Structure 1
């Protein structure tokens, strides 16, 4: 399975593609960020993010997309920008018919480090270790995007199996 992880942000939108499956070694396909200048009009910034994500989808052809679920922060401006970038990511993936999953920051941290309270450095270190990289990806948004993809490969595929089993019995898990 090939997953595009997206750590949404208006200034830096982290993108990371990971390939692998549960119980098998994971490999990084690509990692990077889409950057937009803060002085650019909001609508144009969102267009830049859309173009960047579209280019990654064209180039890397993922099977699924994992996006960080927007959570409440004290800084309303930051959470609004994150939510807007997240909406673009969801739209672009849905337009292509790709399955999209939302994962909370604590779910991602727990998946890669074993602790939902891990800090950025711990997440970066574990991403480096799990993907057998020479150094943690920079900036942290890029490492977070890879962590999202890893989380989805490990947890998303398990959830899909549970959902399929429940559907076969006529019940749902959500």
Structure 2
């Protein structure tokens, strides 16, 4: 059994999702939620809260592998920088606990979970509910985090079967 944490970083809300992957590849939902950090007085306090809360979640659920969404270029440079900093706080929280972090582009996640790289958030939420047998609505950031964890589970399974490193078959840009 492997426990994977997925992170959908954000400067206002950071999605967190944890799944278990059995040796036969079956998936089981463990935890999901969104860290709402927008209420902090300053941006550095938001980053600290992301770091601190992820440390608690990791300490509680003990994932052995991590996956996080790669930063995309946003239209607004300031937003992209803030997203990158939130992502950095999350990565530091995971690495600080000795967990190796794997990165996935949003299009890779959508392709793995929905079957198309241009899927919208509602499609991702719907498929995650089906794949992990979650009843009821799932907050969008939490669903994205679970989707990132599922993507890592599928990717690691494929690369293990094929016996090749993930970087060998990724599309070059």
Specify if TM > 0.5: yes
For the residue of structure 1 that corresponds to 2:67, the secondary structure is strand
Matching residue of 2:12: 11
Matching residue of 2:151: 151
**Any unmatched runs of 5+ in structure 1?**
none
Q: CA RMSD in A?
A: 2.0
Number of residue pairs matched by the alignment: 167
For the residue of structure 2 that corresponds to 1:150, the secondary structure is helix
| Contact 1:101 1:156 survives alignment (8 Å) | no
Distance between the aligned counterparts of 1:19 and 1:166, measured in 2? 23
| Contact 2:25 2:157 survives alignment (8 Å) | no
Which has the higher mean CA deviation after the structures are superposed, 95-104 or 150-159? 150-159
For the residue of structure 2 that corresponds to 1:141, the secondary structure is helix
Residue 94 of structure 1: how far off its partner (Å): 1.5
For the residue of structure 2 that corresponds to 1:34, the secondary structure is strand
Distance between the aligned counterparts of 1:135 and 1:146, measured in 2? 15
Distance between the aligned counterparts of 1:43 and 1:141, measured in 2? 21
Residue 78 to residue 156, structure 1, CA distance change in 2 (3 Å): farther
Residue 75 of structure 1: how far off its partner (Å): 1.9
For the residue of structure 1 that corresponds to 2:60, the secondary structure is helix
What TM-score, normalized to structure 2? Answer: 0.88
For the residue of structure 2 that corresponds to 1:156, the secondary structure is helix
Residue 74 of structure 2 corresponds to residue 73 of structure 1: yes
| Contact 2:40 2:46 survives alignment (8 Å) | no
Residue 96 of structure 1: how far off its partner (Å): 2.0
Instruction: Please give the per-residue CA displacement for 1:131-158, whole angstroms capped at 9, x wherever unaligned.
Output: 01112311x1010000000000111343
Runs of 4 or more, structure 1, over 6 Å off, are: none
**Any unmatched runs of 5+ in structure 2?**
none
Where do 1:14-163 residues align within 5 Å? 14-21=15-22, 24-37=25-38, 40-138=41-139, 140-159=140-159
What TM-score, normalized to structure 1? Answer: 0.88
